[in-house]
Amino acid sequence: MQSYEQKWLAPIPPYLAVWAGLFLFKSAWMTLVGFHIAILLTLLFLRLNLPVNILLKSKFPKWILVSVLICSTSGIGLYFLWDLFGIASDLPSQLKNIGLNSSSWPMFMTYFVLVNPFVEEYFWRGILGSDSKQLYFMDVIFAGYHVMILWGRVQPFSILFAFAVLTSAGWLWRQIAREDKGLLAPALGHMTADFSILLTVYWLTT
């Protein structure tokens, strides 16, 4: 179990990596890969006490189905509420400016969908997780870095809405992990959400 102080400090490097990738280097790839490298370095610093194979554990397969079904609504909701969310009219050019165009999207999406959910679930729900049934401060911290990703791309109210949804998602994935005694179900749900959202963004901006 990591100390309370370590848990508070652990998200700082990933946050800085996302900030640097988006606002300093202006690169989607540097943002994503830098985020993952920052997490891995942080995990090494924390001296892991959680087996990596917990990512493949699921005692009750029903939780996989529950997680995937709930999370599959992410992209569907984004598609039908696209105009309501006030997506920036210049989003396609914004994405091209950070290196996401018709040729780079497929590789980026593949890496994002296959790697990111496992890295994030191990970090946020595993190492920095909690068995509490209540809202946990790390649920909020998990949602917080997404604000940087959305900044300037949707209207402020939509950022607040996304923050609330992502905080709830962090809480939900923790509860699924607690009930299922493993991280496979939340990781697959996270993967479904990432895929459906990225596919929607790709479909509507390219």
Domain boundaries, the chain: 53-205
- In degrees, rounded to 5, the angle at the alpha carbon of residue 12 between the alpha carbons of residues 9 and 18 is 165
State the amino acid at position 142 in one-letter form.
Answer: F
Provide the pLDDT for residue 164.
98
Residue 12 CA from chain centroid, whole number: 15
Question: Which residues neighbour 74 within 8 Å (Cβ) at sequence distance 6 or greater?
Answer: 192, 193, 196, 197
User: Rounded to an integer, what distance in angstroms lies between the CA atom of residue 1 and that of residue 70?
Assistant: 30
pLDDT at 1: 45
**Cα angle, residue 201 at apex, residues 12 and 64 outer, rounded to 5°:** 70
Q: Of 97, 46, 93, 65, give the one whose Cα is nearest residue 179.
A: 65
Distance (Å, whole) CA 124 – CA 173: 10
Phi, then psi, of 71 in degrees rounded to 5? -75, -20
The per-residue pLDDT for 46 is 85
Q: pLDDT tens digits for the chain (206 residues)?
A: 456 667 789 999 999 999 999 999 999 999 999 999 999 999 998 887 899 999 999 999 999 999 999 999 999 999 999 999 999 999 999 999 999 999 999 999 999 999 999 999 999 999 999 999 999 999 999 999 999 999 999 999 999 999 999 999 999 999 999 999 999 999 999 999 999 999 999 999 99
User: In this structure, is the dihedral angle defined by the CA atoms of residues 152, 153, 154 and 157, taken in order, positive or negative?
Assistant: negative
